[in-house]
Amino acid sequence: MSTSTRKEIIRLLKEDEEFRYMVAGLIGIEEVLRRLDGIERAEAP
């Protein structure tokens, strides 16, 4: 991936809310958050 493409993606993530949510959905942010919650609960005394 070219540097200009990466810069454009970063710009879009910062400035375009719809794009940001679309990317979050594609990477499965909900699943990531669930797993983090599970880790946090497992580490709690």
Q: Is the pLDDT of residue 45 over 80?
A: no
Q: What pLDDT shows up at residue 44?
A: 77
Q: What pLDDT shows up at residue 26?
A: 86
Q: What pLDDT shows up at residue 25?
A: 86
Q: Give residues with Cβ within 8 angstroms of 19, minimum separation 6.
A: 12, 13
Full residue range of the structural domain in which residue 31 is found:
3-43
**What is the average per-residue pLDDT within 32-38?**
89
Percent of the chain topping pLDDT 70: 100
- Residue 45 and residue 32: Cα distance in Å, rounded? 22
Tell me whether residue 4 is exposed, middle or buried, using C-beta atoms within 10 angstroms of its C-beta: 0 to 12, 13 to 18, 19 or more.
Answer: exposed
Domain count, the chain: 1
**What is the average per-residue pLDDT within 10-30?**
91
**What is the average per-residue pLDDT within 12-16?**
96
